[in-house]
Amino acid sequence: MRAAVYLILANLFWAGNFVVGQAAMKTMEPLQLTFWRWVLAAVPLLVLAHAVEKPDWRAALRRWPVLLLLSGLGMSGYTLLLYSALQHTSALNASLVTAANPALILVMAVVLLRDRPRPLSWVGVALGLLGVLIVLTAGSFERLLTFSINTGELLIVGAITVWGLYTIIARRLDVPAITSTAVQVAMAAVVLLPFAVATGSGLPGSPSEGWSLAFIAVFPSLGSYLLWNLALKRTSAANAGNYLNLIAVFTAVITVVLGQPITVPQILGGALVISGVLLTSAGGKERQRPRSSKSTSSPPSPSPAEFRPR
């Protein structure tokens, strides 16, 4: 239950990132927004990690190779690809491609982690994807025939692939969640610094840009990444990935709050997405391969569940 709450809130904040980020890209550059969101998020996260988890920083930093890899994937790579894509494609096309993320993560978990999700999980992924398609196409699947793969959509495909790898690797990391997130964010800020300086990526120059950056730094940056990493300590990568479908539902809710009416296809699609998440949660516990009773010269590899905090 706690993992579900973390994942729901994380995706609510990420939905806000789509809406606010789309508006920010009209006057800002992807590198500028990516760099400053992590600069602003780094210090609060480091302070929070030290106060709450009181980690052994030396032990955590000994994991710097994998933390640097995760930072490059989830903080720098995914964010730059997402914001770059929003400069070349519509929010509808970008969201539609992003909806394939849960299925991609589930397949990656099967291939890389040898997860064995129950058939109900596959049904949940399919149901959730169908719901997202209904939401994004307003119930008219003929609209899919008019889409063409352009630069923006290819960038989104790259983004969800990068995020899938991030999720799989982060699932096995044995560093406290807040500490892990804080170090990754700080690494991203440091790595992106020379590129930001070289391109003149200064602070926002208008109040609207400033408010956009503030929102993105606090909620999608601090909130979502922290909650996502906390959830990965308590549930499987495939189950966490299916919750990404909720981004479309929350985006629809945000548009209603902003004054746009909600349609019947959005309501129906939202119900299907939520049903898919519930089905995947119910069938998400992977079946473990039986271990051989024969003795071996080395201990068997631990299952993903064994990396959870005890």
More confident residue, 220 or 242: 220
Q: Rounded to whole angstroms, what are the CA distances from 289 to 235, 257, 294, 302, 303?
A: 18, 47, 15, 11, 9
pLDDT given at position 300: 28
Report CA torsion sign: 145, 95, 133, 228: positive
| Maximum average pLDDT range among 35-44, 117-126, 200-209, 283-292 | 35-44
Q: Which of 14, 7, 152, 151 is nearest to 92 (CA)?
A: 152
Please tell me the distance from the alpha carbon of residue 21 to that of residue 296, in angstroms, as a whole number: 53
Name the least confident of 39-43, 62-66, 279-283.
279-283
Asked if residue 292 has pLDDT above 50, the reply is: no
Amino acid (one-letter) located at 36:
W
Please tell me the distance from the alpha carbon of residue 283 to that of residue 296, in angstroms, as a whole number: 32
Digit-coded pLDDT (tens) for 68-89: 999 999 999 999 999 998 888 7
The chain-wide mean pLDDT, for the chain, equals: 80
pTM (2 decimals)? 0.75
Asked if residue 285 has pLDDT above 90, the reply is: no
User: Mean pLDDT over residues 229-248, rounded?
Assistant: 79
